[in-house]
A and B are shown apart, each in its own frame.
Chain A
Amino acid sequence: MEMQNLWPDFAIEKTKSPKAILKEQAGYLMEKTNNVLSAEIETSQSDGKIIHRFYIVAPAMDNYRYQIFTVTHGVIYYPVAVEWESPTSHWPIVEIEQTAQNEEEFIRILKEVFNNGETIRIISSLLSQSLAE
């Protein structure tokens, strides 16, 4: 007798991984800066948590990198914790930790991080210095 496939049909998780979203946004940064700046995501594990570090890279400046924020989650993608910095005025810089329960919330937080004054200051500075090279 021919053996039957006993496995059920599995539902494919449609949720995008936080890392996939970060990679997509890294590509968009290159697009926005005419490939003058790029972004790298470095992933590591610590105490059962997965940590993604998001770096802005300036290839024209000998690959100088600045870590803008980190994203931490467990084996399951959500919730994710996003840690970043924001100036309330010139001084001091305030550290912010926000938690996203799902993809939609994560994207909303990323938008906030990318449009934050400190992020814009850093990217503008690196962009100008790279273009002056």
Chain B
Amino acid sequence: MSTLNVLFWNVQRKNLTHQITNLVKHKHVDILVLAENPASPVQLIQALNTDGPYYFLNHPLSQCRKITIITKFHYDFIVPTEEDHRLTTRRVRLPTGEDFLLTALHLVDKRSFSPESQNEAATLVAEQLRRVETRLNIDRHVVVGDFNMNPFETGMIKANGFHGTMSSEVAGGKLRTVQKQDYPYFYNPTWSLFGDLNKDVSGTYYYKHAEHVCYEWNVFDQVLLRPVMIDNFVKGSLEIIQTDGVTSLVTARSLPNIATYSDHLPLFFTLTF
């Protein structure tokens, strides 16, 4: 059985090459997905390959500048199939023949877009993902990224949005019919990352503002899996990363250290095949 360790991190337009390199080595990352990475990919590859030529550049065909994907296998095995400026869908070809789609995305943020606009954007992106699956005739699909919404928000849960459920058993039902239209589920395990049981942080993103309703901790960084991929997902592997293996990414209060690093914490998980 082979495993793929996946790490997603929105680096907030900061050159965190040093921390990324530490993290990749510390977590034995096979697929590194970065959002808002300003560092030169060549510089990053050089830093990652100090011990040997293990990592490969982002696929040169990719035109999506918000997302960078670096892999421990040649980019010919993770080919972009459809993109826009906020998402990239790659077809991952495994030696086992179990291909799957990997979409990495960074959706519109709460500072510039109202909840209604975010909800609308979720509808459009989710529809785009369903169309890609139909076009390529594949329903093995993993979506990871900064959704800028919590797992419980309308765009994440509604049938014609991402239709993400916190239950793998519910997602195992494959689809739900609403007004004669079938909508496939995504299993969204990141629901389980809220709160500080068994860890110091309570989410991936902290934001405090002077409103009556304020969650403070949010889980904007998420992974969604189509039902046929649930068995490939190692549930115990999902974690919010607090250290790069050398240095802590959080403050003494266990908040993201935004002064030095990113306002988002990395998300890590493992797939097995």
A interface with B by C-beta (< 8 Å): 42, 44, 46-47, 51, 53, 55, 58, 61-68, 70, 85, 91-93, 95, 118, 121-122, 125-126, 129
Contact = CB atoms under 8 A, between A and B. Distances in A.
Contacts of B81: 62-65
B123 A46 contact: yes
Most buried by A among B65, B79, B127: B65
Contacts, number: 54
A66 B65 contact: no
B27 to A, nearest CB: 27
Given A44-B127, A46-B123, A64 B80 contact: yes
B239 interface: no
Given A42-B131, A65-B82, 11 more contacts: A46-B160, A58-B61, A64-B81, A66-B82, A66-B83, A70-B124, A91-B38, A91-B65, A95-B108, A118-B85, A126-B61
B61 to A, nearest CB: 6
B84 A67 contact: yes
B83 A67 contact: yes
27 contacts: A46-B124, A47-B120, A47-B123, A51-B124, A53-B128, A55-B82, A58-B61, A61-B61, A62-B79, A63-B81, A64-B61, A64-B83, A65-B83, A66-B63, A66-B82, A67-B83, A67-B128, A68-B84, A91-B13, A91-B38, A93-B65, A93-B85, A95-B85, A95-B108, A118-B85, A126-B61, A129-B60
Contacts of B65: 91, 93
Nearest to A67: B84
B226 interface: no
A125 B63 contact: yes
Interface residues of B, number: 22
Nearest to A51: B124
A85 B85 contact: yes
B63 A122 contact: yes
A25 to B, nearest CB: 18
Contacts of A46: 120, 123-124, 127, 160
B66 interface: yes
Nearest to A130: B61
Contacts of A129: 60-61
Contacts of B120: 46-47
Contacts of B128: 53, 67
A14 B133 CA distance: 38
Contacts of B123: 46-47
A93 B61 contact: no
Interface in B52-100: 60-61, 63, 65-66, 79-85
B79 A92 contact: no
Contacts of B66: 93
B13 A64 contact: no
A126 B63 contact: yes
A86 to B, nearest CB: 10
Contacts of A63: 81
Contacts of B60: 129
A77 B128 CA distance: 23
Contacts of A47: 120, 123
Given A46-B123, A61-B61, A92 B13 contact: yes
Nearest to B132: A65
Interface in B147-164: 160
A92 B86 CA distance: 12
Interface string B110-149: 0000000000100110011001000000000000000000
Nearest to B82: A65
A12 to B, nearest CB: 33
Contacts of B124: 46, 51, 70
A66 B84 contact: yes
